[in-house]
Amino acid sequence: MTPLQQMLAIAALTLGTAVPIGGLAQTATDHHAHAAAPASADLTEGEVKKVDLAAGKVTIKHGPIASLDMPGMTMVFAAQDPAALAQLQPGDKIRFQVTLEGKKMVVSDIQSAP
Ligand SMILES: [Cu+2]
């Protein structure tokens, strides 16, 4: 065997074993995610665009909100606790909970995201 053939043989062996293991690991991860969804799965990721303390409203560029069947967009939310908005600055990355109160969407549990 030439050194090149040897390398190819090793590469083939490595690929042959690595692929099935990778596939198994992926399946295990997916299964785990479905079996035990953490409470934080309810939180939506977003970025603060504007804070209106006087009105108790905050404009957030948010990611998809599965529970409301809403894709990512920038929109204005009312804050459940308007005082919590005082800590927010435009550009802040946050995670938050959105609940529907009548037809109004209200944010609560605003946390800073890394
Ligand atoms: Cu939206």
Q: What is the pLDDT of residues 23-63, one digit of tens each?
A: 444 444 444 444 444 445 589 999 999 999 999 999 999 99
Q: How far apart are CA 7 and CA 88, in angstroms?
A: 56
Q: Tell me how far the alpha carbon of residue 61 lies from the centroid of ligand 1, in angstroms.
A: 8
Q: Tell me how far the alpha carbon of residue 50 lies from the centroid of ligand 1, in angstroms.
A: 15
pLDDT over 70, % of the chain: 69
Question: Is 49 exposed, middle or buried (CB count within 10 Å of its CB: 0-12, 13-18, 19+)?
Answer: middle
Q: How far apart are CA 55 and CA 101, in angstroms?
A: 17
Which CATH code for domain 40-112? 2.40.50.320
Residue 22 reports pLDDT greater than 70? no
Q: Tell me how far the alpha carbon of residue 99 lies from the centroid of ligand 1, in angstroms.
A: 12
Cα–chain-centroid distance for residue 3? 47
Q: How far apart are CA 16 and CA 6, in angstroms?
A: 15
pTM above 0.75, yes or no: no
Domain ranges of the chain: 1-36, 40-112
